[in-house]
Amino acid sequence: QVQLVESGGGLVQAGGSLRLSCAASGRAFSSYSMGWFRQAPGKEREFVAAISSSGVVTTYARSLKGRFTISRDNAEMTVYLQMNSLKPEDTAVYYCARGRRTLSGEGVEEYDYWGQGTQVTVSS
């Protein structure tokens, strides 16, 4: 059974930074891609970033590239999301998810296990 547990969310002022972590349990973590999504109140869940199983390939939502960085530590079975220059519109619940393949894209259907989410609130 795969479990994903996010941490690192909180309240931050605009322009600040946060680093989210997602700790995984279960087998073969290094065989699967991982992704981060977010969902703001009243909005659909949207893709933030993804990383291949090896960590070599990363993809980002076009609007976020340059401010957010995804990384992973396969030995620690953890994926990270470094968020810089945060804006009020980044306020959302952030979810990590395990991809179905070694490299997954932006669609929620490409991911099979999800964490419970961590709240990020950016004040103006």
Give residue-wise pLDDT tens across range 54-99.
999 999 999 987 899 999 999 999 999 999 999 999 999 999 999 9
Q: How far is CA 83 from the centre of its chain?
A: 10
Contacts of 95 (CB under 8 A, 6+ apart): 6, 36, 37, 38, 39, 45, 114, 115, 116, 117
What's the mean pLDDT in 5-30? 96
